[in-house]
Amino acid sequence: MSSDKVIHVTDNDFDAVVLKSSVPVLVDFWAAWCGPCRAIAPVIDALAADYDGKAKICKMNVDENPSTPGKFGIRAIPTMIVFKDGKVVDQITGAVGRAAIDTALNRAL
């Protein structure tokens, strides 16, 4: 079950949705075959609901969108990057607890 508040971004709309956003953006780089990615999916959905209006919560499938992960040096998934004003302000790699993601997001708010 995916939250309707999670924004699925692609290589084509990444700049417009993420880099030009007026609010901080968390991007979850994931793939369908990645077990840890699936494990944190409910956390990502909950964040999207909880941060609605304060931050954007996005997901990018690295198999379908190879260009953007390459630009940001994504070597392992899941990797979550927090962007603010078009710049990387935090990065988390691996299936971490919600508290770690909250901390990264709150630093950007």
Which positions are annotated as active-site residues? 34, 37
Q: Residue 28 pairs with which residues in a beta bridge?
A: 59, 80
With beta carbons less than 8 A apart as the criterion, state whether 52 and 23 touch: no
Residue 40: left if φ>0, alpha if ψ -120 to 50, beta else—which one?
Answer: alpha
